[in-house]
Amino acid sequence: MLFFSKMEATGNDFIIIDTIDNNFLYDIKLLSKYLCDRNMGVGADGVIFLYKSKKADFKMKIINKDGTEAEMCGNGIRCLSKYIYEKYLNGMKIFNIETLAGVKTVEILNSGKEVKVDMGKPIFSYKEIPVFYEQNKSINIEFENDTYEFFPISMGNPHVICFKDDIEQIKIDRIGNLIENYKYFPNKTNVEFAQIIDRNNIKLRVWERGVGETLSCGTGTTATAIMANKKKFTGNEVDIEVKGGKLKVIFNEKAYLIGSARKVFEGNLDI
């Protein structure tokens, strides 16, 4: 029997598997593909595995529904933080979680209703993201008689941001898949389509690498806010409306992501 918790953050849903108190012997990539199946499994955008850490208070691994491992997930880490807070911390509200993108500091806000994540500093170096393209040049890609201009950025995982006047008209299931797998992105990429509402508000659609269109993406939201600020479309604090709700990003030298997280249900699974 495998115990799990199903959690969501602005509609981005995850299965939490806690390995701290058990002998966990499963292949996590095969297991994740099975668990994320919305017909045959529990159903989720990804699975987050909780481990003990030698360099932080806890450690997380996140596996997308296609079995690939992500470096970091802003919504996922908020879900895991809420789980840790309720199970392990006895009221402690600030702690650290080790990820493939480094150690992240999280803070529980509003009696556990929201989580603030130190998302760190953005990476603009194409070599580090990585992107096979000339540094500081935007990437223009033709799709169905329209030109889409993409701006690469990394929040520990790769993103490209495209600003459009009406993102609801975008055929994201087609262009999202095309861009995710485009030749310039050796590790594939997450894709964000952003619509600037005003200096303090952005509307966003997200195509997540290894998942498809999702209701929300924490790193994608953060990357979009930073790129909008860099291009002087917005200020240092912005609310971003995604399909699953609203997130807040505060950006000076470092970025902070603030949003809700909640447990949907928990159970045991025969595998």
Judged against a pLDDT cut of 80, whether residue 119 lies above it is answered with yes
Residue range 232-252, pLDDT digits in tens: 999 999 999 999 999 999 999
Q: How far apart are CA 73 and CA 21, in angstroms?
A: 24
Mean pLDDT of the chain: 96
Which sequence spans correspond to the domains of the chain?
2-121+259-269, 139-252
Judged against a pLDDT cut of 90, whether residue 230 lies above it is answered with yes
Q: What is the pTM of this model?
A: 0.92
Q: Which of 36, 79, 162, 217 is catalytic?
A: 217
What is the mean predicted confidence (pLDDT) over 82-111?
Answer: 94
Judged against a pLDDT cut of 80, whether residue 191 lies above it is answered with yes
pLDDT of residue 269: 87
Concerning whether 36 is annotated as a catalytic residue, the answer is: no
What is the mean predicted confidence (pLDDT) over 69-78?
Answer: 95
User: Is residue 44 helix, strand or coil?
Assistant: coil
Q: Which residues pair with 9 in a beta bridge?
A: 12
Give me the residue label for tokens 């917005």. 234
Q: Which of 36, 73, 79, 162 is catalytic?
A: 73
Judged against a pLDDT cut of 80, whether residue 188 lies above it is answered with yes
Concerning whether 217 is annotated as a catalytic residue, the answer is: yes
CATH superfamily of 139-252: Diaminopimelate Epimerase; Chain A, domain 1 (3.10.310.10)
Contact 233, 225 (CB under 8 A): no
- The answer to whether 2-121+259-269 and 139-252 have equal CATH topology is yes
- Look at residues 77, 43, 27, 111 and name the one whose alpha carbon lies nearest to residue 222: 77
pLDDT of residue 157: 96
CATH superfamily of 2-121+259-269: Diaminopimelate Epimerase; Chain A, domain 1 (3.10.310.10)
Contact 126, 185 (CB under 8 A): no
Residue range 133-171, pLDDT digits in tens: 999 999 999 999 899 999 999 999 999 999 999 999 999
